[in-house]
Amino acid sequence: MSMGGGHMGGMGGGFGRTLRQDSSVKDHRLTPGTTRRVMGYASPYRFQIAWFLLLVVLGALLVVATPLLLQRLIDDGVGAGDRRLVVILAGLVAAVAVGEAVLALVQRWFSTRIGEGLIYDLRTDVFTHVQRQSVAFFTRSQTGSLVTRLNSDVIGAQRAFTSTLSGVVSNVISVVVVLGTMVALSWQITVVALLVVPALLLPARRVGRRLAGLNRRGMELNAELGNRMTERFNVAGALLVKLFGTPEREQAEFSAKAADVRDVGIQTAMSSRVFFAALGAMASLATALVYGVGGWLAIDGAVTVGTLVAFAGLLGRLYGPVTALSNVQVDVMSALVSFERVFEVLDLEPLIIDAPDAVDLPDGPLSVELDDVHFAYPGASQVSLPSLEGLPAGSAADAALTRQRTGRAGDLDEEVLKGISLRVEPGTMLALVGPSGAGKTTLSTMIARLYDPTSGVVRVGGMDVRTVRQSSLHRAVGVVTQDAHLFHDTVRANLDYARPGATEAELFGALRAAHVEQLVRRLPQGLDTVVGDRGHRLSGGEKQRVAIARLLLRAPRVVVLDEATAHLDSESEAAVQLALDTAMVGRTSIVIAHRLSTVRKASSIAVIDAGRVVERGTHAELLAAGGLYAELYETQFSHQDA
């Protein structure tokens, strides 16, 4: 077993783990029930954990075997001139070494099985739960913080049942067995050996706190450096730097942050080296004392030479576990805090959930109705966590958000929609127009149930969307936004996302209907061409048409278009508009429009202003009324008419 090595080997493992953790965690108060939930995750592995701990105990007991065998070899073999016994005992020493190696290998197998199983369980649970969160959750949470929960925190939690648990059990048993053996051999030498223990523990705790602070600072600086690289290395960030940045400034700012990381790294490395050098000197001093006092006793005949050699071996197996146990509280709490951070995400209830008795939408064409809909965006305390928003622990913002989560039921923003009532008949088109910030996009999110109204009802096919299964609703309602997202994958994979298993003929049929088939056929690998991060290898118009092809593959019965051509040049806009016209044929459509031709084709136009429907009618009727629509026509649409 690893603890069977020299005195520095056993000490380095436990202390090294401590260095990676903030020593302040030992004062952290765990959420009630955390330990019980941890045991719940361990339950499926209870038999493997039992075998693992049994092997750990056996390995800890073997710690004293080699020194005792060496004692007998010297006293009864060498001292008595018994060559046969010397050979037998030397063979047993070798057998113990092989046994420890095999035992360590089997322990590693159990440790890996348990650890990787826990990582799998925790990651899949967190990923599945996060996928169920509402859009509001993702608009507030930092992506990097979520990834950390799935990686660093999950691995930290896994250590609770592998390195931390095995280390505690092994070190406790090793200390008890080694001390008992030493006392049995010679209580006088044992007392001398223990005199050095305070000199080991005091610097271990003091330097441990300093190194933990340096390590925490290094992690913060590395995170800042990583965030900067992430922002500059994605396509959008790189483009912004190319257009607005200056290489000299970027290099200077990056160099300054990298220099801070370098300086902290040097301080950490030197503090650690000085500490371990001091511990090595202390261990050497202890060995010298043992040999000095033991040699004196051996000359007087109080102990044998073999006993003295056994003491030296036992000494190297005592200080490591003792030093590791001096920081065991931090190690255990670090693992439990990692579990707590994972549970924190799992305990965040999704804002949008299916009702227990939710049903599927009926077949056939669907109407859309909003009945006196009021809506205010949910506050942070309803949809997020301080730690996922990048708020510094202990900050005023963190404290305020924590109070909101544990106190008030809600902290809604000001109402965005104020009593919207609209109805779109099956197969017809409603155009939504209005000034920027009027609430048009917010209204469209109600239909796909990305948010629920604060009051009022949204109905699709005559059914309150809160009584419909979300999977059924999202199959029936297709949305195209003004910035369609494509995964960093092939064209085929992005299309298959809408209808897994679609044939190549179906894929090209959708691309043809979206007026993008010839473009895809001209790509280097056709459907298997990778489109790049967020589809940036395609132009804006091409990306929109691929997104529309994806929508057509989904074949929704209701189409919501949120200014899908708003940021395109005239040629791309015309191509995308043709694709949209195809997508809307025979479907109930709600279109946030900025194009006069789209508005004119609409069965009805609703003018939204400050969260209310202020006008409703056809293009001609609204122009004749001379209200807000007429003003918008003069400022937004009249040049298109010309």
Cβ-Cβ contacts under 8 Å for 112 (sequence gap 6 or more): none
Per-residue pLDDT reduced to its tens digit, 460-471: 999 999 999 998
How is residue 215 annotated by DSSP? H
How is residue 612 annotated by DSSP? E
Residue 616, phi then psi, degrees to nearest 5? -150, 135
The residue extents of the domains of the chain are 2-213+271-346, 368-483+556-641
Confidence (pLDDT) at 639: 59
Query: Could you tell me which residue, 381 or 463, shows the higher pLDDT?
Result: 463
Question: Quick check: 558 pLDDT over 80?
Answer: yes
Per-residue pLDDT reduced to its tens digit, 213-233: 676 677 667 767 776 776 677
Per-residue pLDDT reduced to its tens digit, 396-416: 444 444 444 433 334 456 888
The length of the chain in residues reads 642
Chain center to CA of 585: 42
Per-residue pLDDT reduced to its tens digit, 504-536: 999 998 888 888 888 899 888 888 988 887 777
Confidence (pLDDT) at 402: 44
530 in helix, strand or coil?
strand
Residue 456, phi then psi, degrees to nearest 5? 90, 180
CA distances from 461 to 111, 305, 370, 555 (A): 54, 93, 12, 16
Using CA atoms of 104, 108, 110, 112 in order, give the dihedral in degrees to the nearest 10: 170
Confidence (pLDDT) at 235: 66
Give which of 176, 156, 202 is closest to 17, Cα–Cα.
156
Question: Quick check: 13 pLDDT over 60?
Answer: no
Tokens of 551: 């929508």
Tokens of 433: 């127009």
As a whole number of Å, the end-to-end CA separation of the chain is 85
Note the pTM of the prediction, 2 decimals: 0.71
Residue 590: beta bridge partners? 430, 560
Determine the Cα–Cα distance for residues 316 and 4; give it in Å rounded to an integer.
8
Q: How many CA atoms lie within 13 A of 74 on its CB side?
A: 14
Q: What is the C-alpha R_g of the chain?
A: 35
Place of tokens 């990692």: 338
CATH superfamily of 368-483+556-641: P-loop containing nucleotide triphosphate hydrolases (3.40.50.300)
CATH superfamily of 2-213+271-346: ABC transporter type 1, transmembrane domain (1.20.1560.10)
Please report which confidence band the pLDDT of residue 287 belongs to, taking 50, 70 and 90 as the band edges. confident
Residue 626, Cβ density class (10 Å: 0-12 exposed, 13-18 middle, ≥19 buried)? exposed
- C-beta of residue 341 within 8 angstroms of C-beta of residue 397: no
- C-beta of residue 424 within 8 angstroms of C-beta of residue 588: yes
Cβ-Cβ contacts under 8 Å for 1 (sequence gap 6 or more): 56, 59, 60, 62, 63, 100, 103, 104, 107, 170
Determine the Cα–Cα distance for residues 170 and 328; give it in Å rounded to an integer.
12
Please report which confidence band the pLDDT of residue 605 belongs to, taking 50, 70 and 90 as the band edges. very high
Cβ-Cβ contacts under 8 Å for 167 (sequence gap 6 or more): 13, 14, 17, 324, 328, 331
How is residue 619 annotated by DSSP? H
Please report which confidence band the pLDDT of residue 425 belongs to, taking 50, 70 and 90 as the band edges. very high
Give the chain's largest Cα–Cα span. 121
Determine the Cα–Cα distance for residues 272 and 458; give it in Å rounded to an integer.
63
Residue 389, phi then psi, degrees to nearest 5? -100, 5
Determine the Cα–Cα distance for residues 119 and 62; give it in Å rounded to an integer.
31
